[in-house]
């Protein structure tokens, strides 16, 4: 799951069985996808080149030469015309080949492919500003790489013309690494790579984009046909570690299960309360339970009980340090790269039915309008009464008999009240679908279907959202030195200046004006006029989604609307959450799979026990580093999950060449149209050369291709029928052609 949508800030993550945004340049948005996804075809990026015959005549570099070349020196580009102003920042490179230098307080710098110098995704760079168009991203070029984010590159090992080379799997790296003699033997392990094997190589030296990068082999992952290799390749390509280090395994062996009498006595005992977990069928790590009781005054007392990971994971110890490094769990269809080892996530911390477990609970008294009137946050001990699946709860909601049916129906009633209150205050409730992929025992996909969002899912989402919001507002209240009831406290805004109680918030800024204008223009082209005075608010988004609810291109427009929004991140500064229309928000409810939640638990405990911290400024600086790291790790995790999903999607299409499917035009470019298959939610390109009945020109303003003779138009959002023409699993791309009845 991902930061999928503002309404799914706290939806339950997929929990497989343990077998287990870069900003778009204004000038390119319409050409890409108005706004675009990062899917494109081979012609839109340079091809990987291995050394050719001219260079093959030279002697391959020796390992001594490579070592000499690895001596530190500045990586600077030769000067060209520009205004001379330079900026420093982190580079993000898209799959289309161009990049952006991220500017925290200004527009990101757009860097065309030819201006990337030797910089790679994630590198710290110095960029020169070449021009600054009005209302668009400044355009620049990289002049220096000051720090490599990740020198490890995953690729195919090959021998060619006397050279050993590694062909990078990452399509954003368009040059092969030359491996000098003596550097072919892996530094990790003993067996040398064979031709065609997948390896991890280190980029040793690359100072001139006109020259070949020099590398050395670190590790052999295996052959492309090896079972499970695809997940390992994707993980390593995104700098994700699947195995836990030995010091973590050693620390796990020292953990004791169960709770002592003293520990139980210290906590609020809720073991007699009716608590239930509601999770996917295949879940094994149960990180949240909920309870509900109707009070004599008509209010609901909702309990959200979260696995108390901080009880077992001590700050600064090996397990904690590794969790901080990972930042989040990563989910690959059926497998998971967990943030915490299985003994913690699936055993000690998991809120399994009929077992005493330490929990951290938010217990809220909520009135009939969905307003939190009173609350308390407490360390508790609970005993889950029942383990439900989403489908079981959905059946009860639909009328199935069950001993806990009354409780489930009350929960559904309260979740509906909470959702309607959010909608009234402008919270955006996207309901976009995602592809759900089923794999056989060999990891081969046999089914792809759209995800289904049940009322049972919504129930849990609403309970997690209100708990996270209540915790964030609790800290805001403490920073105002207010101890009154939630009703009056929660209407106050945070004062400027250093907070007394530093905290980790989940924040979401409003969209960029250029993105909003592009979105509204797209809607106009689709026949939807929505005048806006001033800024587009969350309530405007909600109204627009209501307008398109029953239109054939609903899913497509929802995805485009989502792309206009900025990415939610972690921050020590509370600026609210635009998408949810919340004045304050945090992540409290998933400490098994998200490190910021674990940090939030620790802060709440510290403040409850010791009051104000002695050095709030120092603590704020430390938390700011955690926020930055976890935001970056989340971004990497989402990218890895998407890449793996795309890989499996291509495997699914590979044996369907020639078959015809319904689709919708999801993107229009000068070189063709991107079509998303309606049922499978898989995207491919109909190249302009396939439109052979006319000469089509790209109309950037109207997001369409138009035939010069026939006047035929292919417009963004149009339904079409396409045939699968070609699938490249290696490139993770598919080519379609229009079916006869769509041509």
Confidence class for position 627, pLDDT limits 50, 70, 90: very high
In this prediction, what percent of the chain has a pLDDT beyond 70? 85
pLDDT of residue 306: 98
Q: What is the CA radius of gyration of the chain?
A: 27
Separation CA 240–CA 328 (nearest Å) = 10
* Residue 76, pLDDT above cutoff 60: no
Residue bearing the bigger pLDDT, 182 or 737: 737
The crossing angle, in degrees rounded to 10, of helices 455-479 and 405-424 is: 60
Confidence class for position 309, pLDDT limits 50, 70, 90: very high
pLDDT of residue 100: 95
* Residue 490, pLDDT above cutoff 60: no
Tokens of 400: 């199935």
Average pLDDT along the chain: 85
- In sequence order, which residues have a C-beta less than 8 Å from that of residue 364 and are 6 or more positions away? 301, 302, 303, 304, 372, 374, 375, 466, 467, 470
pLDDT of residue 155: 92
Separation CA 526–CA 503 (nearest Å) = 44
Q: If residue 392 lies in a helix (H) or strand (E), which one and from where to where?
A: helix 390-397
pTM above 0.75, yes or no: yes
Confidence class for position 33, pLDDT limits 50, 70, 90: very low
Pairing of strands 445-450, 505-507: unpaired
Question: Do 206 and 214 meet the contact criterion of CB atoms below 8 Å apart?
Answer: yes
Q: If residue 420 lies in a helix (H) or strand (E), which one and from where to where?
A: helix 405-424
Tokens of 291: 């309870």
Tokens of 304: 């959200």
In this prediction, what percent of the chain has a pLDDT beyond 90? 59
Q: Specify the DSSP class assigned to residue 508.
A: B
pLDDT of residue 576: 94
* Residue 5, pLDDT above cutoff 50: no
* Residue 191, pLDDT above cutoff 80: no
Name, of 132-136, 439-443, 724-728, the range with top average pLDDT: 724-728
Mean pLDDT computed over 268-292: 94
Mean pLDDT computed over 189-193: 76
Tokens of 492: 């106050």
Check residue 27 and give left, alpha or beta (phi > 0: left; psi -120 to 50: alpha): alpha
Separation CA 291–CA 341 (nearest Å) = 28
Indicate if the alpha-carbon torsion angle 652, 654, 659, 661 is positive or negative: positive
Instruction: Identify the weakest region by mean pLDDT among 393-407, 408-422, 494-508.
Output: 494-508
Q: How far is CA 500 from the centre of its chain?
A: 31
Tokens of 677: 């298959």
pLDDT of residue 127: 95
- Per-residue pLDDT of 699-742, as tens digits, reads 887 788 999 999 999 988 889 999 999 999 988 899 999 998 66
Q: How many helices (H) and strands (E) does the chain have?
A: 17, 31
- In sequence order, which residues have a C-beta less than 8 Å from that of residue 718 and are 6 or more positions away? 664, 665
Mean pLDDT computed over 496-515: 85
**Which residues is 300 bridged to in the sheet?**
294, 366
* Residue 142, pLDDT above cutoff 60: yes
Mean pLDDT computed over 229-255: 92
Pairing of strands 733-738, 683-687: parallel
Half-sphere exposure of 285 (CA within 13 A, CB side): 29
Residue bearing the bigger pLDDT, 367 or 552: 367
* Residue 656, pLDDT above cutoff 50: yes
- Per-residue pLDDT of 657-691, as tens digits, reads 999 999 999 889 999 999 999 989 999 999 999 99
Separation CA 420–CA 57 (nearest Å) = 72
Half-sphere exposure of 567 (CA within 13 A, CB side): 13
Angle at 168 between CA 162 and CA 174, to 5 degrees: 95
The residue behind tokens 């407490």 is 378
Q: What are phi and psi of 247, to 5 degrees?
A: -65, -30
Separation CA 153–CA 156 (nearest Å) = 10
Residue bearing the bigger pLDDT, 152 or 411: 411
pLDDT of residue 497: 57
**Which residues is 216 bridged to in the sheet?**
202
E strands, 26-106, are 86-93, 99-102
Separation CA 435–CA 448 (nearest Å) = 6
Q: How many CB atoms lie within 10 A of CB 154?
A: 23
Angle at 245 between CA 239 and CA 250, to 5 degrees: 160
* Residue 12, pLDDT above cutoff 70: no
């Amino acid at each position: 799951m991902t930061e999928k949508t503002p309404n799914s800030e706290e939806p339950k993550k997929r929990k497989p069985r343990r077998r287990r945004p870069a900003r778009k340049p204004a000038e390119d948005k319409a050409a890409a996808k108005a706004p675009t996804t990062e899917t494109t075809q081979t012609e839109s990026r340079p091809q990987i080149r291995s050394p050719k015959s001219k260079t093959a005549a030279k002697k391959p570099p020796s390992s001594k030469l490579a070592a000499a070349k690895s001596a530190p020196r500045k990586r600077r580009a030769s000067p060209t015309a520009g205004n001379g102003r330079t900026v420093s920042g982190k580079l993000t490179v898209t799959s289309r080949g161009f990049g952006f230098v991220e500017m925290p307080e200004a527009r990101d710098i757009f860097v065309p492919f030819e201006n990337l110098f030797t910089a790679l995704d994630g590198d710290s760079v110095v960029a020169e500003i070449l021009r600054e168009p009005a209302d668009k991203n400044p355009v620049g070029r990289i002049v220096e790489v000051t720090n490599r984010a990740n020198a490890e590159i995953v690729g195919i090992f090959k021998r060619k013309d006397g050279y050993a080379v590694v062909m990078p799997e990452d399509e954003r790296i368009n040059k092969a690494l030359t491996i000098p003699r003596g550097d072919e033997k892996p530094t990790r392990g003993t067996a040398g790579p064979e031709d065609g094997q997948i390896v991890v190589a280190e980029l040793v030296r690359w100072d001139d984009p006109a020259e070949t990068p020099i590398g050395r082999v670190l590790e052999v992952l295996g052959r492309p046909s090896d079972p499970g290799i695809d997940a390992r390749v994707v993980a390593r390509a995104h700098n994700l570690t699947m195995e836990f280090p030995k010091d973590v395994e050693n620390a796990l062996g020292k953990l004791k299960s169960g709770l002592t009498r003293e520990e139980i006595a210290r906590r609020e005992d809720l073991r007699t309360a009716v608590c239930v977990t509601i999770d996917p069928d295949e879940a094994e790590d149960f990180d949240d339970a909920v309870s509900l009781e109707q009070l004599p005054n008509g209010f609901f007392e909702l309990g959200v009980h979260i696995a108390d990971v901080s009880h077992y994971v001590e700050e600064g110890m090996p397990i904690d340090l590794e969790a901080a490094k990972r930042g989040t769990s990563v989910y690959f269809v059926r497998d998971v790269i967990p943030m915490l080892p299985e003994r913690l996530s699936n055993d000690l911390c998991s809120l399994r039915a009929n077992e005493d477990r330490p929990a951290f609970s938010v217990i809220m008294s909520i009135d009939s309008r969905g307003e939190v009137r009173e609350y308390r946050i407490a360390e508790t001990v609970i005993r889950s009464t029942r383990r439900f699946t989403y489908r079981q709860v959905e059946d009860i909601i639909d009328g199935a008999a069950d001993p806990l049916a009354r409780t489930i129906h009350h929960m559904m009633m309260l979740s509906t009240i909470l959702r309607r209150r959010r909608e009234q205050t402008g919270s955006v409730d996207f309901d976009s679908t995602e592809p759900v992929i089923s794999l056989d025992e060999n990891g081969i996909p046999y089914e792809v279907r759209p995800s289904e969002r049940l009322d049972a899912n919504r129930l849990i989402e609403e309970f997690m959202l209100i708990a996270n919001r209540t915790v964030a507002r609790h800290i805001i209240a403490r920073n105002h030195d207010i101890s009154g009831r939630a009703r009056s406290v929660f209407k106050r805004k945070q004062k400027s200046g250093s907070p007394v109680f530093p905290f980790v918030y989940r924040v979401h800024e409003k969209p960029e004006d250029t993105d909003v204008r592009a979105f509204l223009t797209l809607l106009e082209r689709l026949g939807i006029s929505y005048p806006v005075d001033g800024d587009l608010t969350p309530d405007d988004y909600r109204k627009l989604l209501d307008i398109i609810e029953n239109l054939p291109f609903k899913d497509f427009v929802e995805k485009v609307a989502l792309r206009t929004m900025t990415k939610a991140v972690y921050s020590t500064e509370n600026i609210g959450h635009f998408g949810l229309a919340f004045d304050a928000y945090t992540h409290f409810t998933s400490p098994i799979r998200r490190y910021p939640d674990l940090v939030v638990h620790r802060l709440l405990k510290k403040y409850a026990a010791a009051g104000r911290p002695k050095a709030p400024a120092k603590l704020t600086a430390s938390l700011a580093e955690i926020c930055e790291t976890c935001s970056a790790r989340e971004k990497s995790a989402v990218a890895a999950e998407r890449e793996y999903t795309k890989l499996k999607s291509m495997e699914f299409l590979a044996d369907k060449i020639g078959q015809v499917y319904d689709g919708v035009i999801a993107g229009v470019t000068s070189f063709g149209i991107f079509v998303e298959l309606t049922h499978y939610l898989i995207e491919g390109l109909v190249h302009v050369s396939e439109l052979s009945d006319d000469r089509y020109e790209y109309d950037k303003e109207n997001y369409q291709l138009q035939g010069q003779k026939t006047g035929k138009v292919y417009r963004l959002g149009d339904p079409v029928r396409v045939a699968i023409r070609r699938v490249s699993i290696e490139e993770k791309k598919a080519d379609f052609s229009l079916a006869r009845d769509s041509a």
